[in-house]
């Protein structure tokens, strides 16, 4: 979603290293949630798993209570695109599950989302697995553009170009929900679009931290919000996927704050070598 045209916050190396600590906790929490997701498990139980990891690591949730949101993570299943509220809903094999969460350490935020198919490859509809895979790869193409581009708009162009040219059935990029700046708050300027426009946006420069989060659908781009005032669903019932990472730009390069290797395994094949944020 758009968050207005507030002033952009540029971080020091020390602040970005604190964000990396938050990202490390978040990565562990999301990993444990995904490992716990199985047929018969409720989305509320996944929320409890996530909350437990944050507590064990001295972190707090930036989702819980945000504009009244009642949980520590968003759990979106199948046609639910984003902002799904954990509940007593039991997962089933073949469900497309997107988990979106955040953590705060020392006042600094991280934000990340992952999509999986419950039950793994044996239970997956190949079209659903492709949806998640293309969404994930489009995110990495956008992250690579943080290193190689000049303006924030280059990120959306890279995502759009990849999705538009991937072989097979065309997937849709949602335009109503976009990425954002992140730092001392979860949602900050600038907006990070997931599609190509004529707007260049702010210049990519050291100290800028961004949450890059494409959301793709197998059908129409039209969405509705359920009566809970949070859960966004595709109007036609088509399935959706959501991937997100928080990324820092510093004088030496970029570092994916919410990936355990800074994004190296996915960025190096794209010609980008991530560099840890320096200590000083």
Q: Which domains can be identified in the chain, with CATH numbers? A: 13-270 (3.90.230.10)
At CA 119, angle to CA 31 and CA 117, rounded to 5? Answer: 65
The verdict on whether residue 180 carries a ligand-binding annotation is yes
Task: Using DSSP, state whether 181 is helix, strand or coil.
Answer: strand
Rounded to an integer, what distance in angstroms lies between the CA atom of residue 278 and that of residue 4?
31
Q: What is the pLDDT of residue 3?
A: 42
175 annotated as ligand-binding:
no
pLDDT digits (tens, 9 = 90+) for 204-238: 999 999 999 999 999 999 999 999 999 999 999 99
138-197 pLDDT per residue, tens: 999 999 999 999 999 999 999 999 999 999 999 999 999 999 999 999 999 999 999 999
261 is annotated as contributing to ligand binding:
no
Determine the Cα–Cα distance for residues 158 and 267; give it in Å rounded to an integer: 14
Number of helices followed by number of strands (H, E) in the chain: 5, 14
pLDDT at position 107: 98
d(CA 165, CA 141) in angstroms, rounded, equals 13
- 93 marked as binding residue: no
191 annotated as belonging to a binding site for a ligand: no
pLDDT band of 120, cuts 50, 70, 90: very high
Per the annotation, does 260 bind a ligand?
no
Q: How far apart are CA 262 and CA 210, in angstroms?
A: 14
As to burial, measured by CB atoms within 10 angstroms (0-12 exposed, 13-18 middle, 19+ buried), residue 82 is buried
Question: Per-residue pLDDT tens for 42-101?
Answer: 999 999 999 999 999 999 999 999 999 999 999 999 999 999 999 999 999 999 999 999
Give the pairing of strands 172-173 and 240-242: unpaired
Q: Is 109 annotated as a binding residue?
A: no
3-state secondary structure of 153: helix
């Amino acid at each position: 979603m758009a968050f207005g045209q507030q002033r952009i916050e540029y971080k020091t190396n020390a602040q970005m290293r604190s964000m990396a600590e938050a990202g490390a906790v978040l990565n562990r929490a999301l990993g444990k949630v995904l490992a716990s997701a199985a047929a018969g498990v409720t989305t509320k139980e996944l929320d409890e798993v996530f909350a437990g990891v944050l507590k064990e690591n001295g972190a707090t949730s930036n989702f819980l209570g945000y504009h009244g949101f009642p949980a520590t993570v968003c759990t979106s299943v199948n046609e639910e695109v984003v902002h799904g509220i954990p509940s007593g809903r039991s997962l089933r094999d073949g469900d497309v599950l997107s988990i979106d969460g955040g953590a705060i350490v020392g006042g600094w935020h991280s934000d990340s989302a992952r999509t999986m198919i419950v039950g793994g490859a044996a239970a997956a509809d190949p079209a659903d697995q492709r949806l998640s895979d293309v969404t994930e790869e489009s995110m990495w193409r956008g992250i690579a553009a943080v290193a190689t581009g000049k303006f924030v708009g280059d990120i959306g162009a890279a995502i759009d170009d990849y999705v538009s040219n991937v072989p097979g059935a065309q997937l849709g990029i949602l335009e109503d929900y976009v990425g954002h700046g992140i730092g001392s708050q979860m949602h900050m300027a600038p907006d990070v679009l997931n599609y190509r426009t004529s707007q260049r946006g702010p210049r990519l420069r050291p100290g800028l931290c961004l949450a890059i989060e494409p959301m793709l659908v197998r059908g129409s781009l039209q969405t509705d919000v359920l009566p809970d005032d949070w859960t966004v669903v595709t109007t036609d019932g088509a399935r959706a996927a959501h991937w997100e990472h928080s990324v820092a730009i510093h004088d030496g390069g970029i570092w994916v704050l919410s990936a355990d290797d800074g994004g190296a395994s996915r960025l190096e094949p794209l010609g980008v070598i991530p560099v840890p944020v320096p200590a000083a």
